[in-house]
Amino acid sequence: MERLNKFLARAGVASRRKCDQLIAEGRVTVNGVVVTNPATRVSENDLVLVDNVPVRPVEHHVYIELHKPRGYLTTLKDPYGRKTIAELLQNIPYRVFPVGRLDRDSEGLLLLTNDGFLTYVFTHPRFGVEKRYLVHVQGEVQAEDLERLKAGIPRGEECYRIVSGQVLEKKGETSLVEVVLTEGKKHEVRILFDALGFPVIRLIRVGMGPLTLDPELPPGKWRYLRKDEEEKLRAYLAERRQT
């Protein structure tokens, strides 16, 4: 027996948080009864439906790396007809969903999977999964600026901060900075640099946990993770099961 939201995530329906939302909206039934409590215990013998479609636990997990280009939403469907990453994911014979998000104007490494546990680990702040970004900004960033970002920038009830950072290059009136974050709040990198007066020109995610953006993978293209990458990923997840 396991929690309903975990069961749905393991079945590849969506991330754990998204499954909570589906349950709260009354879109999930167990043995013909609408269930709105994500902690409801279910087993593989129960008939679980989402929007009247039966779901079963996934037996084969897949992991896909997408080099997301600018101009695409990190979602598989948009009610306003805007471009989404679904347009880039042709000929994939699995139901996969994105692990976290990159906003429309950001680019770089995006992981897609049907592994609900991986999505939970990579998106929940308690696990502290590091995400690395290359940030092109307007202005000359100094070492003391990065120290301010490490100390934290308060915004309302939130506090935004980086774990580490370094200035890689200064060219004219622009800077190239590498930063590492673990929380991934919405627009976090842009909010941080805007707060110091350095508007972001370009934002590229180049790493997530043990994974690094493949320099040979062109923007808009995807590939399955290699065997060695999957092994690193599984080892990384096994470590976090202990936390």
- pLDDT at residue 219 in the model: 98
- pLDDT at residue 56 in the model: 75
- pLDDT at residue 58 in the model: 66
Single pTM value for the model: 0.79
Per-10-residue mean pLDDT of the chain, 243 residues long, equals 87 81 94 94 89 78 96 93 94 88 96 87 90 98 97 92 97 96 91 97 97 97 96 88 65
Torsional class of 18: left (φ above 0), alpha (ψ -120 to 50), beta (otherwise): alpha
Pick the catalytic residue from 46, 103, 194, 214: 103
For 78, phi then psi, to 5°, come to -130, 125
From the centroid of its chain, how far is CA 32? 33
Which residues sit opposite 111 in a β-bridge? Answer: 65
Clarify whether 103 is annotated catalytic.
Answer: yes
Domains and CATH numbers, the chain: 2-54 (3.10.290.10), 63-125+210-240 (3.30.70.580), 130-208 (3.30.70.1560)
- Our CA angle for 75, 180, 221, nearest 5°, is 40
- pLDDT at residue 11 in the model: 78
- pLDDT at residue 242 in the model: 65
CA distance 189 to 239: 27
CA distance 166 to 146: 7
- pLDDT at residue 59 in the model: 66
